[in-house]
Each structure stands twice: as C-alpha cells, then as structure tokens.
Structure 1
Amino acid sequence: MAALEAVEWFSKGVEALGHDHVYLARTCFERAAEMDLTPEACSYLALCQARTRGRFEDAVELARESIVGEPGNAVHYLNLGRIYLLAGRRGEAIDTFREGLKYGRNEEIVAELEKVGLRKPPPIPSLPRNHPLNKYVGIVMARLGLR
C-alpha cells in the first residue's frame, strides 16, 4: 500500500516538475521518499532541493547516492548535471552529462549539452572566433594546459 502511494507521489512530482512547479514537485518527492526511499525519488528530490533551497552540496550528495544505488540510470546523471549547472559548476555538469550518455541516449541530456554549449570562449574575445590569431593562441594555451 505504501509503495503504491509512493509511486503516485513520485509520478505527481515528475508531472509537476515538467510544468515547472518546483515547490509542489519537491513536496511530492519528499512524500514519496518518506514512504519508499528509491534512487529515482532521491535524484529528483535532490534536483528540487537545489532549485528551491539552494543547498547545492546537500543536493549533490543526495544525487550521488542515487547514482550509487542505481548506476545505470541516465536520469540520475541528468539531474546531477542540472544541479551542477545551478551551482555554477559547468565543467562538472558537462562531464556528468557525458557520463550519463554512456548508459543510453537520453534526449534531455543531449538538449542540456546543446544548451550549455561545448565550446569555450575565444582567447581574444574582441576578435572573431575564426580569426587565425584566436585559433593559434587557443592551440598554444591548450598545449600549455592554460585552457
């Protein structure tokens, strides 16, 4: 009975999150986690906590626990990557998204990667990206480990 209620709360939370009702979603995931602590509920709860409360370290820890509990689920990597983006940790977010793609093609992860953008800004921002000076300065900086 409790497991069935937990599934209902979880599905309501996913629906609320899809409509960008983050506070409602957090409440639903908290209820679902109280009844049946599943890795998916932890993952979504972590994302909601990061978005509503701004406790990024707690959210990262909770999301990592969900990955340990169910390492092959790409959704956990999606949520952890989104938490990293909220925390301003772009590099870790991209690495996490790429790790999630190893477990299956997830269109939401692909969309997040496209939204974030994989290219770094040019070394000399006042020049166009394809300017030879930008190109060669970028290559030299990359080889020296400065980029």
Structure 2
Amino acid sequence: MSSTEPEKLFARGLAAFKSDDTLSALVLFEKACQLDYNPGFVSYLAFCLAKERGQYKKAIALCKESLEKEPANQAHYLNLGRIHVLMGNKPDAILAFREGLSYGNCPELSDHLERLGARKKPFIPFLKRNHPINKFIGIILGKLGLR
C-alpha cells in the first residue's frame, strides 16, 4: 500500500461523516487506522464507535489518547464533546468544547456550545444561581447587552 492510502481512506470517511453516514465512515476510519494509527484518524473513529456501536468507554479512551498526542488539535475536543453529548453527559461535553476553544476560535465548537445552552457563571458566585439578586442582575445585564 502507498503511504497516501490511509489519507485517502480518511478523506472518504470524512466525506461520509460530514454527510451523516457514520456507519460508512466507521468502516473507512477503521481501515485507515489499521494502516496508520494517526491521532486524527483515531479521534473520528472514536466518535463513530460511540454513535454506531455504543462503545462509549472505548471511544472516550481513544479520544483522550489522541489528545495526549496532539493536545492543541481542536477536532479531538470536538469529537470528545460529541461523544459526551451522545452519552447525555452535558457538563463534560461543555468542558470538552470549552477546552477546545482555549486553543483558538472554532465555529464548530462554538456552535455545539451554543446548542447545548452553556450558561455563564452567576454574577455573584457565592450566591446560588437561582438567588433573586443573581437573577435580577443577570436579567438587567442581559437586557443591556453586557452579559
């Protein structure tokens, strides 16, 4: 096999992934990973494993492995967050998306955060979120466009 064969398989898998055909993408990512165990390939494979086979623990482990090798790659944070969303684990998904955004602007990460409805910290942190003072200040600042 040529050295570009894994990249070709990954590109085909990514096209299938983007068209929401995660089953086909899973097969292509598995083949690409067998030929070249690239962290980028593994990250997408992890999401497909979680979505198609429900192998959440394995998927999270693979994503974390990819993050250890490439900690600044925002795609790994995106896939890890997506896995947490599939699991219904909203707090960890938000954490993953925010960590990914710490490496720069990424519209996909921002879109996922917005869809999850990530809340900002309460204005007065030592008071509970539903305390009337926090609610009132939050409403006022929101209407003024300052929050």
TM-score range, shorter chain: 0.7 to 0.9
CA distance in 2, matches of 1:82, 1:104: 18
CA distance in 2, matches of 1:12, 1:138: 53
Q: Which amino acid aligns with 2:69?
A: G
Compute the displacement of 1:114 (Å): 0.6
Residues paired across the two proteins, number = 127
1:138–1:10 distance in 2 versus 1, CA, 3 Å: farther
Q: Which amino acid aligns with 1:24?
A: S
Compute the displacement of 1:118 (Å): 1.2
1:136 counterpart (131, 134, 137): 131
Identity of aligned residues (%): 41
Compute the displacement of 1:135 (Å): 4.1
Deviation per CA, 1:88-133: give whole Å up to 9, x if none: 111001011000001121110000001111139xxxxxxxxxxxxx
TM-score, length of structure 2 as denominator length? 0.81
Indicate the residue corresponding to 2:36 in structure 1. 36
Compute the displacement of 1:3 (Å): 2.5
CA distance in 1, matches of 2:6, 2:133: 52
Q: CA RMSD in A?
A: 1.9
Q: Which amino acid aligns with 1:101?
A: L
The correspondence of residues 14-93 of structure 1 with structure 2, limited to 5 A, is 14-93=14-93
SS at match of 1:3: coil
1:136–1:78 distance in 2 versus 1, CA, 3 Å: same
SS at match of 2:4: helix
Q: Which amino acid aligns with 1:74?
A: Q
SS at match of 1:13: helix
CA distance in 2, matches of 1:22, 1:15: 10
TM-score, length of structure 1 as denominator length? 0.81
Indicate the residue corresponding to 1:118 in structure 2. 118
Q: 1:2–1:36: 8 Å Cα contact kept in structure 2? A: no
